[in-house]
Amino acid sequence: MVDARSRLKEVYAHPVGRDAIDKVLLQLGRSRGWVRNPVVANLRLGTVARLARPVLGDGFVSSLVTVLADHDDGAARLDQVGAPAQHAPDGAAAPGGVVLAGAEWWREAVFYQVYPRSFADSDGDGIGDLRGITSRLEHLADLGVDCVWLSPIFDSPNEDMGYDVRDYRAVMAEMGTLADLDELVAGCHERGMRIILDLVVNHTSAEHEWFRAAVADPDGPYGDYYHLVPGAPGEDGSGPPPNNWTSFFGGSAWRWVPEARRWALHLFAPGQMDLNWENPQVRAEVAEIVRWWRGRGIDGFRLDVINYISKRSGLPDGNEAIGRLMGFPGIEHYFFGPHLHAYLAELRQAGFTRRSDDPPPASTARERFADGTLGGPLPPDEAGVMVGETPGVGVEMSRLLSNRSRAELDLVFNFDVLDGPGKVRWDDYRYDLAYLKGFYLDYLARTGPGDAIALFYDNHDNPRMLSKVLGAKDRDPELRAAAAKVLATIQLTLPGTPFLFQGQEIGAVNQEFTSVGDLQDVESRNRYAELCETGLSEAVALAQVLPGARDHARVPMRWEPGLTTGFTAGTPWQTGREDSRGFTVAEQTDDPDSVLTYYRDLIALRRAEPALTRGAFRALAPRSRTYFGWLRTAVGGSADWLIEVNLTSRTIRRPRGVPEAETVFGSPGGPLRATLAPYECRVARLTPGNGRTASAAGDSTGADPASSGVITSWSKMEGWSA
Of 22, 159, 180, 389, which one is the catalytic site residue? 389
**Could you confirm whether 235 is annotated as catalytic?**
no
How far apart are alpha carbons 286 and 293 in whole angstroms? 11
Torsion sign over Cα 521, 527, 532, 537: negative
CB atoms within 10 A of CB 584: 21
Give the DSSP per-residue string, 319-366. PHHHHHHHSSTTGGGTTT-TTHHHHHHHHIIIIIBPPTTPPPPS--PE
How far apart are alpha carbons 461 and 478 in whole angstroms? 27
What 3-state DSSP class applies to 302?
strand
What 3-state DSSP class applies to 446?
coil
How far apart are alpha carbons 470 and 120 in whole angstroms? 28
Residues 6+ apart with CB under 8 A from 569: 121, 124
Q: Radius of gyration of the chain from Cα atoms?
A: 25
How far apart are alpha carbons 426 and 543 in whole angstroms? 10
Q: What are phi and psi of 123, to 5 degrees?
A: -115, 5
Contact 299/312 with Cβ under 8 angstroms? no
Give the up-direction half-sphere exposure of residue 629: CA atoms within 13 A in the CB hemisphere. Answer: 32
How far apart are alpha carbons 574 and 591 in whole angstroms? 29
How far apart are alpha carbons 392 and 396 in whole angstroms? 12
Contact 473/483 with Cβ under 8 angstroms? no
**Could you confirm whether 389 is annotated as catalytic?**
yes
Type of residue found at 216: A
What 3-state DSSP class applies to 28?
helix
Of 304, 346, 382, 396, which one is the catalytic site residue? 304
Among candidates 469, 473, 511, which has minimal Cα distance to 487? 469
Among candidates 268, 393, 400, which has minimal Cα distance to 344? 400
In 178-197, which positions are buried (b, 16+ CB within 10 angstroms) versus exposed (e)?
A: eebbebbbebbbebbbbbbb
How far apart are alpha carbons 47 and 57 in whole angstroms? 13
Contact 374/365 with Cβ under 8 angstroms? no
What 3-state DSSP class applies to 445?
helix
Q: What angle do CA 378, 379, 383 make, to 5 degrees?
A: 115
Give the DSSP per-residue string, 215-277. HH-TTSGGGGGB-EE--SSSSSS-S--SS--B-TTSSBSEEEETTTTEEEE-SSSTTEEEB-T
Contact 422/29 with Cβ under 8 angstroms? yes
How far apart are alpha carbons 376 and 190 in whole angstroms? 9
89 burial (CB, 10 Å; 0-12 / 13-18 / 19+) is exposed
Residue numbers annotated as active site: 304, 389
